[in-house]
Structure 1
């Protein structure tokens, strides 16, 4: 056969595999995009999709059915009837009777018509609430399971490195610990419902040159190991994820889709991942067409298989006929195919597909139930970040008040939704089709929230473009009002359709179009003004936080989903209080990028350069309608390098209303053998307190959370002094302590178990 290692599988799977012809094996390694038409819902889809007829493609069975519900607006119950019938046909009319695995996008909820849309992942990060994200994942997974779906292409665990990158709204945070804990929570929720989660995009994708999609990545091995890989390791070791999707990136000249080092040595041999690796859409073919490391599609298939990709999505451009020809010509060992097929069959067995009889499909289903909307409202509310407030907020009931609601996003439902929401991802191509879900804009929600106020809505300008002709009318409306609420930001879309989203990268972090001029014109009227930013990336709005152009209050909401308008309206009125924190630094300028709060000393401001990369607001910043005091941080004087230690802090609500504090524990390795960040988050917890109430918050911190890659390329924990502090952001040291790690240098290995990563069930109590 070969010395290619074959995965351990059940006797049933091995017996099934032994009966398979080459054509039947290859059929299990590809997807088929049944509904793909002219819509551009994936990169270069129009150029790459195979022209093979469906009947021919599934003659020997099929591995995946691609986006059965998520490519066009289809009635879910009708589509389910088709799917059940097709699965029965595959079971009864193909020689081996193996059903297809159905996958869908589920980044902001199931991406299907009439399905609930939750806040975008950047909002998950702003909530700092893994437990709530786990609930959301479980509910999304339940909807998917009802529709006969088996695998979800989420979560995205790319660590934000540059906000100019268009896919920032799909990411959780610039901090790998936050990405890992919240991403792992989503994995657990989805998989508890019986859906296999798929980690994206392994690895390095977000570190692209100049924040450009599909651009080369120049990350060194230490940045890769210490920043970009840990969230994936956490979701594998602590979350038990069953699927991983490769990144489109090339890292130092090696495309990830052809990297045996990443897809086999790191993923499987080092971390013990035993699931299935699926290709990002068309990434196998890209080895030939975009990376030029393969002379043809057959060679591209060989490189991807050898590296560790098991399934080509969304179709069989390379793994079907080109790979079959390469095997028959002796250019590819069939053992490589056997390895992948065994993994795919094992996954189908695990999902119950080898036992499924597909009796009757659902005859009714509610994909946007009150339970969906309640969780969507909770997560949206927790994710709103109050950036600045001079006392104008909360507005209160404002009986009889005249309120001007101004801006291109004020009365836009689409402005609440991320790039991978069905509304912006698919329905944008079908303007004749209704949204399918209730999606009140912020203006709609304010009318409901403040029924006794006189609300007048004026657009003022578009999200994009240079037309300023509507600004004078908007300013006049604001001048005649008691309060002005200016709603600006992004419109999510793909590949040039919109201002943020996949393929919508920028070289300027100013608000798109003439929106800044609109804000300045309204503020200049003297009317007390609230700025609300609905966006998929943080913008350079330092001008709105201080100075003559600054509104009285600024709220940041990262695409808060279907209940986002209502959640923001409740916070503006004061019926709810803001509790979100910035999961990514608010940038000073595009020229200061890339920037991360996890920078070493030389990555910050200094007297030897006139350029200042200090962000307008730091990671972790967020105001509330009350005040909190953090004091008495306690840590042991010493702890071994290979163990965990416990840290506690006292938190008190010193204001006059209830509120939530996101308690943030930071650390700094004072002296190390390689440069270390000036601040690193090692623990966080949401704590709700009544006025005057206090709590003792305790963190269990594995020392391996402070691990780094040494000069040999080994992950270690070194002995030495560690500074610890708790404050309102990474930059605020409100209460401090020091701990000394003692003993020998500790090499972090798989034997450390939980110490390798972090679980969302770490001991945190209030």
Structure 2
């Protein structure tokens, strides 16, 4: 291969980008090379062939097949291009299924279903000749003000790692490579601002932010990684060999490819200001370990000349080219008959919609219920369905859905898939009810002109269902999503005013929050009981502590509240089924429900001084804790038993009896937490070490067993080395991180394991 042929394998080309600006500064036309000229020596990647504008999938697949044949026949080496697409909530292409957003995956606590979804997405991608997906996002949530929270799975690294790895397994089982993003630190940016600097210590990076990536690499076999845009302690990750080479490749043994986030190489010059020009930006990035520049060449077209003039060692170029060619060989692109023209494609078949429905149903979290739910669909209710998200399809989907990411630029173009709204779904679920609708307000607008009509409908109704929340978009074109960071965690616009005005009518209100981040909803929720359960008409559900009238507080609030994190194309029917009781709620909060923006950043993984104490007047206690979620039945957790002692580096066993103590069938998410009581560095008061979804009939019980690697209790010691320290561990099972319903202790003892001191 010539230097130019190697260089050509290290860049993508965005054939459909046109004049649409998809990221800040991407509008600068730095790449003026015509496509035919850019591919004369071959090409590494074709960028978003299906996901840039609405194109007929079958026609586009046929074009792609012809283009790949051209690269085989008309370039000297005959190497086809690798095709990549976004696939965070399903393949981001016109007419493709849209699944719930990753924050909803986290709320489901269901890795098996997430893996099933990954396989379904992979089948669609492979059928279209796509080889690599830019997902999953493994950033651990550190601050809900950050706009990209809707792309994340959880604030807990174990949940992120387990579900993210499940997605990787599912996607890659269909021959499509997953890309882990954003490696690393992106979600810990200053004040939750996109691309902002990261000011955190090495221990937080090692113990919280890196583990999900390590799990997806070591256990999931992920084949691609994408860098973070941010800098950590002044060094941009895109130019830092410590993360991209020393940790990723040397420590973990990763042997796949590292691709740049879009424009990240040029950002070394234009935003981080650590490179004077494009050649220097390219040299920094490829030396650090970025093999491929995406989406189009801004800097890597200088690599061949840099090798010639001696500014770049030739082995660096060879190293990256070798990794890319190895990936193409692994994917079958070097085979003579690697692809064929498709005969027909259905990107939203019934099987995909079934997965989307089940995941949506499992992900919705019931935050409160005074006994009004479930509603009897056979009763002749008069229901006022209110709120700006009640009859919105866009409100069901996240920022990286095709509808919100691409079709927002093409008004008038149909979605290409069925997207029943909450309003339409309620009419189907409650055919005997008299249902009226008024939006009450817009998502963001301060205009109160629509408020009176909604209040009037509520006054005439038996029940008001108020659907509020977010509108996902990009860079200011929404209330959440990439570039849509916030200073307040109040509901956007006047939506809180709408809810409070409807509550003031005296009509029972059911609040449904369709959002991409957790909002400060203390005003809408009753207080938790002393044992951690929520006060309901049935007592404190999921808690043994009794409810008292004094604890109930102000009754002028919604009678019930649901939290739904962008539940996808089947989200409307899922919410309707949960309201009617046809499906019992089983979602659990994958992120703490915040008290206020002023309490951020906050994580349940906090030491003693990271929460409410007597030495500060500020209270960061969340309104609902991590792991919280109600159902239409109650569960008791009893007789937790664990191994009395376990050598460091081995597996320990735990078991607990789970009883359905209510009168309805239901699903519990059994959560096992741990606390290292005395350690050489401060440790979290609660740390999730295992979880399991368990379905139980009313009155039934089951012994739930866990086999837990003791490495989950490891941490970075004072000397900077990861270790499992001997000592006493307190473990418990409860309905959230804050509720120790049944407790046991275990002793970790020294062993010959390298993690043991």
- State TM-score, norm by structure 1: 0.94
For 1:88-133, what per-residue CA distance to the aligned partner results, in whole angstroms no more than 9, with x for missing partners? Answer: 0000110000000000000000000000000000000000000000
Q: Which runs of 4+ in 1 moved over 3 A?
A: 744-749
Q: 1:278 to 1:25 in 2, by over 3 A?
A: same
For 1:18-40, what per-residue CA distance to the aligned partner results, in whole angstroms no more than 9, with x for missing partners? Answer: xx111101100000000002223
Measured after TM superposition, the shift of residue 48 of structure 1 is 5.5
Residue 628 (str. 1) matches residue 626 (str. 2): no
**Matched-pair contact (CA < 8 Å) for 1:48–1:317:** no
Measure the CA separation in 2 of the matches of 1:580 and 1:552: 19
Find 1:542's aligned residue among 522, 525, 531: 522
Measure the CA separation in 1 of the matches of 2:686 and 2:61: 50
Q: Quote the residue 1:364 is aligned against.
A: 344
Measured after TM superposition, the shift of residue 363 of structure 1 is 2.4
For 1:196-245, what per-residue CA distance to the aligned partner results, in whole angstroms no more than 9, with x for missing partners? Answer: 00000000000000000000001100000000000000000000000000
Q: Quote the residue 2:687 is aligned against.
A: 680
For 1:710-747, what per-residue CA distance to the aligned partner results, in whole angstroms no more than 9, with x for missing partners? Answer: 01111100000000000010000000000010125853
Measure the CA separation in 1 of the matches of 2:569 and 2:178: 23
Measured after TM superposition, the shift of residue 648 of structure 1 is 0.2
Q: Quote the residue 2:654 is aligned against.
A: 647
Q: Quote the residue 1:337 is aligned against.
A: 317
- Which of 557-566 and 352-361 deviates more? 352-361
Q: Quote the residue 1:733 is aligned against.
A: 740
Measure the CA separation in 1 of the matches of 2:230 and 2:729: 35
Q: Quote the residue 1:600 is aligned against.
A: 607
Find 1:616's aligned residue among 623, 626, 638: 623
Q: Quote the residue 1:588 is aligned against.
A: 595
**Matched-pair contact (CA < 8 Å) for 2:593–2:624:** yes
Measure the CA separation in 2 of the matches of 1:49 and 1:203: 27
- Which of 114-123 and 44-53 deviates more? 44-53
Measure the CA separation in 2 of the matches of 1:633 and 1:127: 24
Measured after TM superposition, the shift of residue 458 of structure 1 is 0.3
For 1:543-594, what per-residue CA distance to the aligned partner results, in whole angstroms no more than 9, with x for missing partners? Answer: 1003354200000000000000000000001111100000000000000000
Measure the CA separation in 1 of the matches of 2:253 and 2:437: 56
For 1:598-653, what per-residue CA distance to the aligned partner results, in whole angstroms no more than 9, with x for missing partners? Answer: 01111011111100000010000000000001000001211111211100000010
Give the secondary structure class of the aligned counterpart of 2:384: strand
**Matched-pair contact (CA < 8 Å) for 2:10–2:320:** yes
Measured after TM superposition, the shift of residue 361 of structure 1 is 1.2
Measured after TM superposition, the shift of residue 41 of structure 1 is 2.7
Which blocks of at least 5 consecutive residues in structure 2 are unaligned? 527-553
Measured after TM superposition, the shift of residue 364 of structure 1 is 1.2
Q: Quote the residue 1:26 is aligned against.
A: 7
Measure the CA separation in 2 of the matches of 1:120 and 1:183: 12
Find 2:259's aligned residue among 278, 292, 295: 278
**Matched-pair contact (CA < 8 Å) for 2:659–2:702:** yes
Find 2:452's aligned residue among 468, 472, 478: 472
Give the secondary structure class of the aligned counterpart of 1:331: coil
Find 1:485's aligned residue among 448, 453, 465: 465
**Matched-pair contact (CA < 8 Å) for 1:635–1:648:** yes
Measure the CA separation in 2 of the matches of 1:708 and 1:356: 49
Measure the CA separation in 1 of the matches of 2:480 and 2:32: 31
Please give the root-mean-square deviation of Cα atoms over the aligned residues, in Å. Answer: 1.2
Give the secondary structure class of the aligned counterpart of 2:300: coil
Q: Quote the residue 1:130 is aligned against.
A: 111
The 5-angstrom pairing of residues 113-152 of structure 1 reads: 113-152=94-133
**Matched-pair contact (CA < 8 Å) for 1:571–1:578:** yes
Q: Quote the residue 1:404 is aligned against.
A: 384
Measure the CA separation in 2 of the matches of 1:218 and 1:183: 25
Give the secondary structure class of the aligned counterpart of 1:492: coil
Give the secondary structure class of the aligned counterpart of 1:697: strand
**Matched-pair contact (CA < 8 Å) for 1:464–1:513:** yes
Residue 499 (str. 1) matches residue 479 (str. 2): yes
Q: Quote the residue 1:213 is aligned against.
A: 194
Measure the CA separation in 1 of the matches of 2:603 and 2:117: 28
Q: Quote the residue 1:325 is aligned against.
A: 305
Give the secondary structure class of the aligned counterpart of 2:121: helix
Q: Quote the residue 1:756 is aligned against.
A: none
Measured after TM superposition, the shift of residue 359 of structure 1 is 5.9
Measure the CA separation in 2 of the matches of 1:302 and 1:585: 42
Give the secondary structure class of the aligned counterpart of 1:388: strand
Measure the CA separation in 1 of the matches of 2:74 and 2:492: 54
Residue 576 (str. 1) matches residue 583 (str. 2): yes
Measure the CA separation in 2 of the matches of 1:549 and 1:366: 49
Measure the CA separation in 2 of the matches of 1:604 and 1:365: 53
Residue 70 (str. 1) matches residue 77 (str. 2): no
Residue 222 (str. 1) matches residue 203 (str. 2): yes
Which blocks of at least 5 consecutive residues in structure 1 are unaligned? 1-19, 753-766
Residue 697 (str. 1) matches residue 735 (str. 2): no
For 1:247-276, what per-residue CA distance to the aligned partner results, in whole angstroms no more than 9, with x for missing partners? Answer: 001000000000100000000000000000
Measured after TM superposition, the shift of residue 44 of structure 1 is 2.8
Residue 376 (str. 1) matches residue 383 (str. 2): no
Q: Quote the residue 2:723 is aligned against.
A: 716
Aligned length: 730
Residue 425 (str. 1) matches residue 405 (str. 2): yes
Measure the CA separation in 1 of the matches of 2:88 and 2:310: 41
Q: Quote the residue 1:757 is aligned against.
A: none
Residue 157 (str. 1) matches residue 132 (str. 2): no
Residue 290 (str. 1) matches residue 300 (str. 2): no
Q: Quote the residue 2:33 is aligned against.
A: 52
**Matched-pair contact (CA < 8 Å) for 1:415–1:490:** yes
Measure the CA separation in 1 of the matches of 2:608 and 2:21: 44
The 5-angstrom pairing of residues 428-447 of structure 1 reads: 428-447=408-427
Residue 558 (str. 1) matches residue 580 (str. 2): no
**Matched-pair contact (CA < 8 Å) for 1:299–1:326:** no
**Matched-pair contact (CA < 8 Å) for 2:134–2:179:** yes
**Matched-pair contact (CA < 8 Å) for 2:303–2:317:** no
**Matched-pair contact (CA < 8 Å) for 2:480–2:516:** yes
Measure the CA separation in 2 of the matches of 1:748 and 1:505: 39
For 1:123-152, what per-residue CA distance to the aligned partner results, in whole angstroms no more than 9, with x for missing partners? Answer: 000000000000000010000000000000
Measure the CA separation in 2 of the matches of 1:717 and 1:48: 52
Q: Quote the residue 1:79 is aligned against.
A: 60
Measure the CA separation in 2 of the matches of 1:607 and 1:61: 65
Measure the CA separation in 2 of the matches of 1:49 and 1:487: 44
**Matched-pair contact (CA < 8 Å) for 2:180–2:213:** yes
Measured after TM superposition, the shift of residue 432 of structure 1 is 2.0
Q: 1:441 to 1:312 in 2, by over 3 A?
A: same
**Matched-pair contact (CA < 8 Å) for 1:445–1:565:** yes
**Matched-pair contact (CA < 8 Å) for 1:723–1:739:** yes
Measure the CA separation in 2 of the matches of 1:152 and 1:488: 32
**Matched-pair contact (CA < 8 Å) for 1:715–1:747:** no
Measured after TM superposition, the shift of residue 399 of structure 1 is 3.2
**Matched-pair contact (CA < 8 Å) for 1:101–1:151:** yes
Q: Quote the residue 1:175 is aligned against.
A: 156
**Matched-pair contact (CA < 8 Å) for 2:648–2:755:** no
**Matched-pair contact (CA < 8 Å) for 1:582–1:622:** yes
Measure the CA separation in 2 of the matches of 1:287 and 1:48: 17
Q: Quote the residue 1:656 is aligned against.
A: 663
- State TM-score, norm by structure 2: 0.95
Measured after TM superposition, the shift of residue 376 of structure 1 is 0.3
